[in-house]
Each structure stands twice: as C-alpha cells, then as structure tokens.
C-alpha cells in the first residue's frame, strides 16, 4: 500500500517554518480596509484547517488546542487570502471580520499606543465581554 499524497494545503503548510514549539505567528488583517486586527499563533493543523474551511483557526497556547476564531463569541474571521512572508516564518491572513476581533470587545487588539513617553488607550470596547462570552 502506498502512502497518500499530501494535499495542496498540506504542501503549503509543509513549506512554512514553524518555531521549536511547532507554531508560526499569524497576523490578521481586515481585507478591505487594511486594518491590523490581531496577532495569534497557528500550528500546522490550524493552517490546514484554515485553508480547507475558509474560516480562520488558530492554536491557543493557553488551552493547548485549536481555537476556531468566534467559536465562543460569534466573532468569526472568514478567510479572504492566506499569505506568508519571504522567510516563510510569518503568516498574514486577510479576513472578513464579523464583529470585533479582540477578546476585550474592541475592533482590534492594538489599542495601546506609546505617546510622549506614556501609554495611551486609543479605542474603547464596542461590546462588553459579558455580551461576547456570557460571563459576569
């Protein structure tokens, strides 16, 4: 019996350079505005699932398992384009973000700015974490 040939998406995942923990940084960008939404990690399985399903999947380091963006909050990222850099050690997922991207209820995770030597919060939550996750 011969081994199954890898799919095209598996071949793409195999080109990527994962770190010693089997992870690669993934930057999520809103496809039509260019807004940077968040950074998370992917493992090989998350890359393949994202490419196979068209819905972005990450690897949760804190939970030690795949994390399908929006599975608990409903704030889904639909894949528009999957890119990787010249060194093949960082991924850019261009997405259509449904709802907010940040677990704090903000549109994106980059809401801290360094201005004149001080930390400034530059955006407020659009939705409460209670609404997102049903927690008090």
What average pLDDT does this structure show over 83-91? 98
For the cut 60, the answer to whether the pLDDT of residue 85 exceeds it is: yes
What average pLDDT does this structure show over 12-36? 98
**pLDDT in the model for residue 133:** 83
* pTM, two decimal places: 0.91
**pLDDT in the model for residue 2:** 67
For the cut 70, the answer to whether the pLDDT of residue 62 exceeds it is: yes
60-92 as b/e: b if 16+ CB within 10 A:
eeeeeeebbbbeebebbbebeebebeeeeebbb
């Amino acid at each position: 019996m011969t081994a199954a040939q890898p799919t095209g998406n598996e071949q793409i995942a195999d080109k990527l350079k994962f770190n010693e923990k089997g992870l690669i940084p993934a930057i999520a960008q809103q496809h039509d505005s260019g807004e940077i939404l968040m950074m998370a990690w992917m493992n090989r399985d998350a890359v393949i699932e994202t490419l196979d399903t068209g819905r972005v999947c990450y690897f949760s380091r804190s939970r030690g398992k795949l994390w399908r963006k929006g599975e608990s909050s409903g704030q889904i990222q639909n894949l528009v384009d999957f890119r990787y850099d010249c060194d093949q050690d960082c991924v850019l997922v261009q997405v259509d973000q449904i709802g907010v991207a940040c677990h704090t209820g903000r549109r994106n995770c980059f809401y801290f700015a360094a201005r004149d030597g001080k930390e400034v919060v530059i955006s407020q939550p659009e939705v409460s974490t209670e609404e997102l996750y049903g927690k008090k």
